[in-house]
Structure 1
Amino acid sequence: MGGEGSMMAANNSLKNNRDLISKRKERGGLSGSYSNAKLAEFPTATPEQLNEIREKILKQNRVHKVKLLIVFGVIITVLILFFLYN
């Protein structure tokens, strides 16, 4: 009968996939203890520093928005002129 070789290949593939799954489950996730891990010490920020950072980020966002509007405006103008003169 035909198709015996392809069925054997399918069975081998399924067997190999099952073997891979079982190995993955045995390995597990993270192992070990974190009791010896040292945490980094970060300085605390004052409210004034936080306000300065906030203002700086807001200014950067405004500048970025203006640049985007200029770029899109130029692209739209070029497209309109292209379609009008074609």
Structure 2
Amino acid sequence: MGGEGAMMAANNSLKNNRSLLAKRKETKALGGSYSTIELKKFPKATAEQLEEIKKRIQIKNKQNRVRQLIATLVISILVISFLLYIF
């Protein structure tokens, strides 16, 4: 029957890949511990600082929405005028 050589090659390839998997260096690198790592201390934000940050983010988001709206309108006008010019 045909295809027996291809199946044997596939089985050999799978066997070789399985044997190479155990030799990978990445598996050895995962055996470490985090006990010696010093965590950084970040300052706590006050309620006023959080409100200021919130307002700044809201202003930036509003500006981005306006820019996106203007860009969308300009592109839409250009596309519509181009289509009207063609047809």
TM range (shorter): 0.7 to 0.9
Number of corresponding residues: 83
| Structure 2 residue runs without a partner (length 5+) | none
Partner residue in 1 for 2:43: 43
TM-score by length of structure 1 reads 0.77
Partner residue in 2 for 1:70: 70
Spell out, residue by residue over 1:22-67, the C-alpha distance to the aligned partner (whole angstroms, 9 max, x if none): x16xx36732332222110101101111011100000000000000
Equivalence map 1:1-86=2 (5 Å):
6-21=6-21, 23=22, 27=27, 30-86=30-86
| Structure 1 residue runs without a partner (length 5+) | none
Q: Structure 2: how far apart are the matches of 1:2 and 1:47? A: 75
Measure how far apart 1:4 and its partner are.
Answer: 6.3
Counterpart amino acid of residue 12 in structure 2: N
Q: Structure 2: how far apart are the matches of 1:82 and 1:52? A: 45
Overall identity of the aligned pairs, in %: 54
Secondary structure at 1:75 match in 2 = helix
Counterpart amino acid of residue 51 in structure 1: E
Measure how far apart 1:3 and its partner are.
Answer: 5.9
Shift in CA distance, 77/36, structure 1 to aligned 2, threshold 3 Å: same
CA RMSD of aligned residues (A): 2.4
Counterpart amino acid of residue 16 in structure 1: N
